[in-house]
Structure 1
Amino acid sequence: MRKTTAFAGLGLAAALVLTGCSATAEEPMDESMSEEPAVVDTVNSDGAALRAQLTALLADHVYLAGAAIDQALADGGDLETADVQAAVATVDENSVEIAALVGSVYPDAEQPFLDSWRSHIPFFVNYTLGKATGDEEMAAQAVEDLNGYAVSFGQLINSVVPELPAEAVQGELEMHAVSLLAAIDANLAGDPEYFSLLKEAAGHMPMTATALAGGIAANAGIE
């Protein structure tokens, strides 16, 4: 790109000399003719920063949720132990950070987003406890709740960012739920595959972050 621009500039200069159109002191050459076109920095741009922050926070969400559930299982399903409470508090801190990032663009949406995001985390806990205790009805209800949440969350995001179709956001949340539930099942079964499944669940987050950040950037005019 730069070599092509440089050769074009040389050609223009040669043409000016041959035709006797060189610049004089009274008529300075327009400096804009030699300027390179503006280039948008897609690596250090605000849009890239938004995508990177969302990716990191959403990936953390998966690992922190997995750690909290693992701790709850280690403590026999007792959600009131100090270790479980500490793990749950860390998950909530992550939720607050995600909501704050959304709020940095849409201040009025920060609290509704946080309330909605917080509401889906207990469904994973209910699924885990249901499976661990053999309460299939509880586990099935948790899956149904997660499916319903994906729909409502998609509608919430679409109401704030029309560029993001509710169905697309719903699909991202459903993928998140299915992949994390698969990891939970492996954990309950004592399957060492749990770790790779949890990694796989976290690996879906960059795609989710890219979709969300892209829609937000388009809506808010962020480059």
Structure 2
Amino acid sequence: MRLRSKGTGYAVAVMATGLTLTLGACSGGDDGMNSSASSPSSSSTMDHNSMDMATDPGVDPVSTGDPFADARTAAAHMPETALTLATGLAKATDTAGEVDSDAATLRANLTAMLQEHVYLTGIGVATAYTAGPDSAEFAAAKTALDGNTQDLTDAIGTLAGDDAAQQFDQVWTDHVGYFVDYAVAKKSGDQAAADAAQANLTQYTQDAGAFFEQISNGELPAAAVTEALGMHVSTMSAAIDALAAGDPTASDTLRAAAEHVGMDAGTIATGLAKATDLAGDPMDDASTLRSNLTALLQEHVYLAAFAVFNAYTADGGVESPAFTAAAATLDANSVALSDAVTSLAGADNGAAFLELWRQHIGFFVDYAVADATMDEDARQQALLDLDGYRPQAGAFFEKVSGGELPADEIAAGLGMHVSTLAGAIDSLAKALVG
């Protein structure tokens, strides 16, 4: 896909300013965020013109050229980061429960996989509407979504056996297909087809309810699961409606759908943990902290990718209502993360975290701008800024955790975040800008 390759570069060139106004993020300047080394560096993963640089960013973007696969790679790192942070913060604050019990792990994993299902579905639909349902780009998006389905199937199989896994795979794959049918129908204005897809989705909620009641030995009543999945259908359908209508607030609607499945993850984890006698309590305070951080950090990746997607594809680029709204949704995630810090470490630390976090988002925006305009100097500078953010964030978490979170370990983990998300942005630029 090569969208708006003529003229897009100029629109995206003001992206940093646009997001700064929207988020209050501040990039560049003499703020101690820059770092340098003696050897020149240029990422080997990019199809851009190379230049000799006087500084080495210290982090190399990891990119395959497939933005959907790379977004999954970036997102997959965040549950590990959430576990690390939750472990240290729980110890520092004497949070009751166990962060790493089997039941807590089940809840966190289901939270990540179900949330990813929502975001990959939404991004896939947006891609189909932008590039076409028969495009190679949509095929790649569908492959990523199928990978998420396989992960969910494997998780069910681990708990309930191969036969249950096969049943789940069939039911879940069918419901993904019904959402695709609904998306196609809404975009084409075929109300009869949309109604048929909704009827199939309603039947899915009943089939899935019966399935979970069976494999949980009644710990997950069919009626309760059906009701919960009915909310998933309605919120995901609302997100598709917004995307089909070109509603700039589609990012908010998509986020609402993702938030709902986080609640479903807690419900399902509780029933399956009881049915299989898993150690721990999936709903204790420490487990909840871990799952909440998992959801917020993974959401950061997908909302950042969605914002860049809109900057590269929407008419008007960063001046478009779609990008402005997506940037605001991303900032809402940042505020939610700062609220979580505030609840554990106080308002001053929450505010300090929000400033630091918004700043690193600004550096990612600088990177996206440089990718779109093929400005290798600016691209390397953005990597330097992101590299410099890591030790500052490490020092912050070491301080608020009373040393339970060593600065060096946090900085190292954030290196993976920078490498994988920058790589996903590289692939988006290659696919959408050219």
| Secondary structure of 1:191's aligned partner | coil
- Whether 1:102 aligns to 2:156 is yes
Q: For structure 1, which runs of at least 5 residues remain unmatched after alignment?
A: 1-39
- Whether 1:139 aligns to 2:207 is no
- Matches of 1:100 and 1:163 in 2, distance apart? 21
Q: In structure 2, what is the equivalent of residue 195 of structure 1?
A: 251
Instruction: Check whether the contact 2:187–2:245 (CA below 8 A) recurs between aligned residues.
Output: no
- Whether 1:168 aligns to 2:224 is yes
Q: 2:269 pairs with 204, 207, 213, which one?
A: 213
Q: Which has the larger radius of gyration?
A: 1
Letter in 1 for 2:156: V
Q: In structure 2, what is the equivalent of residue 23 of structure 1?
A: none
Deviation at 1:114, TM superposition (A): 1.1
Q: 1:52 pairs with 100, 103, 108, which one?
A: 108
For 1:62-101, list aligned pairs within 5 A: 62-76=118-132, 78=133, 80-101=134-155
Deviations 1:24-73 (CA, angstroms, capped at 9, x unpaired): xxxxxxxxxxxxxxxx9532110000000000000000000011111111
| Secondary structure of 1:123's aligned partner | helix
Letter in 1 for 2:128: A
- Matches of 2:234 and 2:261 in 1, distance apart? 13
Letter in 1 for 2:242: A
Larger RCO, structure (CA 8 Å, separation 6 or more): 2
Letter in 2 for 1:131: K
- Whether 1:117 aligns to 2:169 is no
- Matches of 1:151 and 1:119 in 2, distance apart? 13
- Report which stretch shifted further, 45-54 or 186-195: 186-195
Letter in 1 for 2:150: V
Q: For structure 2, which runs of at least 5 residues remain unmatched after alignment?
A: 1-95, 280-434
Aligned length: 182
Q: In structure 1, what is the equivalent of residue 53 of structure 2?
A: none
Q: Which runs of 4+ in 1 moved over 4 A?
A: none
Letter in 2 for 1:88: K
- Matches of 2:278 and 2:187 in 1, distance apart? 46
Compute the RMSD of aligned alpha carbons: 1.2
| Secondary structure of 1:164's aligned partner | coil
- Tell me the TM-score normalized by structure 2: 0.41
Deviation at 1:75, TM superposition (A): 2.3
Give % identity: 37
